[in-house]
A and B are shown apart, each in its own frame.
Chain A
Amino acid sequence: MKRRDFIKTTSLASASLLIPDFLKALGNTKPALNEKKLVVIQLSGGNDWLNTFIPYTNDTYYKLRKKIAIDKNNLTPLDNTLAINNSLISLKPFFDSGEMSVVNAVGYPNPDRSHFRSMDIWHTASKSNEIITTGWLGQFLDANCTSSREAIEVDDYLSLALKGEKYKGLAFKNLDQLYKEVNTPFFNDIVSANSMLNEGNQGYLYKTLIDAESNIKYIYEKNKVIQNNANYPNNNFAKQLKNIASLIQSNIDTKIYYISIAGFDTHVQQLNNHNKLLQNYAESVSAFINDLKQNNLFNNTLIFTFSEFGRRVEENASQGTDHGTAGNVILFSGALKQKGLLNTLPSLTDLDNGDLKFSIDFRSIYKNILQNWLQTTKEIIGDRSIKTFEIV
């Protein structure tokens, strides 16, 4: 950026920052409720998708998983090739009503089996031998948004997925506590005193601070009037989804919500643990969807679930599974264009070093979400050979 342009943009930015954002927002007639919302759910650790959606008519599955296979009493068929683990049974109604899509064999070329590297690849939509320092949703913020609050992560710290060059999403777990922290005399003093923003790092720090402060206050003010009495299961993940539902109801202009659940790295004695994790996920998401439906928000909300990789087809010696490659992604919305099971299952015998071969590049799903749901015209997925995989 040229110096002049910078001065232009920062002076504009600081002038608008002088008006507290929550006041700006009160006068804002933008019908945010009709805007499309994306909720991303990350299953951290590498979910065992083969025990989530089970190829129950394939003998190879039972042969390779003698100790940890989901037996036929504990699953419910979705069609004649794939069944859903009964731990996820609370989601089945959405599958039946065309509000849930499952994509099989999602991955990328030259898969990396390291958690953090593969997570990076999913977060930045990079090729496996390419390093990108901004996330796919962060790049969307840069291209289409005017504030960091347009992407919120329900966590203490921000994931790479939501970090752009210009804008980095807002992360918080406890809005009330955060509000208290930025509403001290000290904060108010330095925020109100600093109208002069220079173009160096000092200016950047104050810009980030002022932005955070006004965004937190705006969200807090809008959110405090919302009473969410919907029923959710009693666990942390469900509690956070409930908070997201309230935030969506509060009509703030946030487009993206991001949340993770950990514990999916099931190397050892996985059967019961994994089923519990799945049940926890399914019941919480189910409550969330019902809450959104009650408030007529489900047609405008897309829920996207992924994990950094699936797990090895064959069980290991500790009644668990090791790091693998391709897996599923799940999408929920009242506005899906393609519903149900969207493609064929990967082969359980034609493997890449014991792991499933992918057939759908995850970036082709991102591309669909970015273009058709978040409606950006910017080409965020750099690789043009990636075709859109049509879901929404």
Chain B
Amino acid sequence: MKTQLKHVFHIHNRLGFGINYIEAKELQQVPLNKIINTLITESSIGQYITSIKKDEIPSKKEATQDGISKKDFNKLINDKLDDLNLSWIKMLLTTKNVLLEKQTLFWHNHFACRVRNPYFMQELNNTHRKFAFGSFRDLLIEVSKSPAMITYLNNLQNKKEHPNENFAREVMELFTLGRGNYTEQDIKEAARAFTGWSIDKDTQEFIFREKIHDNESKTIFGQTGNFKGEDVINMIISNKKTAYYIARKMYKYYVNELVNEKRVNELADFYYQNQYNTGALLKKIISSPWFFDDENIGSNIKSPIEYIVNISRTFNIKFNKENVLINLQRNLGMFLFNPPNVAGWPGGKNFIDSSTLLLRMKLPSLVLNNGIMETDKETDDPDGPGNGKPTENKKFETEVVWSKILEEHKELELEQLMQCLLAKMPTPSVIQKIKQNEKINTKEAMIKIVSLPEYSLV
């Protein structure tokens, strides 16, 4: 059975980062469930990011002992963080395991973290990838024990004598139960259970420090016992609110930012019954008939990462300057590994204000036509030198093989081009305006189409 072209695009827009017309045309001959299965199979294996080696990141103390100045140390960390960022964004631009990366991106935002240790950040990212479609409980345990999260949420300072509640609070509020499903008392007591979860200075791995762990009885969620961190996580997992919280977020990410409560409740039940198997939840979502409802196509706003990866993959853009990839993320408002806070990027409409929208509408003529954009040379990294320098024009230095693209799209009329490039069609009057321009050739038309506000929809 043939698959509708529209549905081929939708599947790849949502479970991946879009595809071009030629790929879509081929997939039209394949039944829908087979397209989905292929995506899932291709994402059952993946590659880890390995660009940062553990021993190349000295601690601040080691750096001081080795006579490395603060300035040089900060520069080393900044450079390595950029390397890490580039490794991932480049992987996103080329990987075949798109669904795996899409889900890793979901966890990257869900378990938002930002510490100035590139190795810790890399390992957390690999954990998100490793458990992307596995059990959420396993993922939660691994994330909670990751040196990145332990550092970020102050569990190093969480000791028997002086409990630090930061991790206990965020794990309930943002990672699992959601606001309103725990008490302040639960947080205080849970913090005590997490005392002693720390990092071994030599191995740079998780270590449980018995000595600073509070071994007294705690009362959490109405239960009393001498609980350890794992016990708290098990209690959180056995609460169905956690399944609801994750299922709701998955629905918003894969289906529609506007939530249908009935469906989310069904998904939450399913997730809970299936022991929080995220892969099973995702299969359930995409095999539901409403996944392809018109109201769920083109309903969401592309995140800046989706925007960048999508346009780059569709036009096979080659970036000759790595800095361009970094600046694009910063300027569009989603710099991987640098979430605004522990709640992650708020997403959706929050990505769009007049500046970011105008930039999105201007970018196609720049990246597809090797244009120039004025950018600030100054670094906005708070730990960098940050001295304001005058702005300068920067060439994008991107390469696009237009002859190939034009050959591939030669049979398409303007409206068909729109159907390939946009998840939602503009109003007839906008289409009319673009059509009116008789001189327009296919290249210009394609650049115009992806400059439309609709190109920000997915």
Contact = CB atoms under 8 A, between A and B. Distances in A.
Given A156-B331, A265-B383, A200 B352 contact: no
Interface in A189-244: 189-190, 192-196, 200-202, 204-206, 208-209, 211-212, 215, 236-237
A125 to B, nearest CB: 14
B222 interface: no
Interface string A158-189: 10100100001111111001100110001101
Contact of A201 (B169, B300, B432, B452): B300
A120 B341 contact: yes
* Interface size grouping (class) on chain A: 35 or more
A133 interface: yes
B301 A157 contact: no
Given A156-B331, A262-B380, A201 B349 contact: yes
A345 to B, nearest CB: 27
B223 interface: no
Interface in B317-354: 331, 333, 340-343, 346, 348-350, 352-354
Given A202-B453, A212-B354, A156 B376 contact: yes
A116 B382 contact: yes
B63 interface: no
A173 B331 CA distance: 14
Interface in A137-162: 148, 156-158, 160
Contacts of A131: 174, 341-343
A202 B350 contact: no
A156 B349 CA distance: 19
A384 B299 CA distance: 39
Contact of B331 (A157, A168, A186, A189): A157
B456 interface: yes
A267 interface: yes
Given A186-B451, A193-B427, A263 B387 contact: yes
B382 A204 contact: no
A209 B355 contact: no
A236 B390 contact: yes
Contact of A196 (B69, B387, B427): B427
B4 to A, nearest CB: 21
Contacts of B74: 267
A117 interface: yes
A268 interface: yes
B331 A212 contact: no
B130 interface: no
Interface stretch (B139-147, B260-268, B356-364): B356-364
Contacts, number: 146
A60 interface: no
Given A201-B300, A204-B349, A205-B456, A171 B386 contact: no
Contacts of A173: 391
Which of A45, A116, A160, A174 counts the most B-chain CB atoms under 10 A from its CB? Answer: A116
B457 interface: yes
B101 interface: no
A182 B358 contact: yes
A205 B69 contact: no
Nearest to B384: A265
Contact of A193 (B165, B300, B430): B430
A261 interface: yes
A101 B357 CA distance: 39
A120 B384 CA distance: 18
A265 B165 CA distance: 28
Nearest to B300: A201
Contacts of B391: 173
A205 B380 CA distance: 27
Nearest to A198: B427
Given A115-B382, A202-B298, A261-B388, A194 B353 contact: no
8 contacts: A133-B346, A156-B375, A158-B354, A178-B358, A192-B433, A202-B298, A264-B386, A265-B382
A-B complex: 7 closest residue pairs judged by Cβ atoms: A115-B382, A212-B354, A205-B453, A168-B353, A193-B429, A189-B433, A131-B343
Interface of B: 69-71, 74, 114, 165-166, 169, 174, 257-258, 298-301, 331, 333, 340-343, 346, 348-350, 352-358, 361-362, 374-376, 378, 380, 382-388, 390-391, 424, 426-427, 429-430, 432-434, 448, 451-454, 456-457
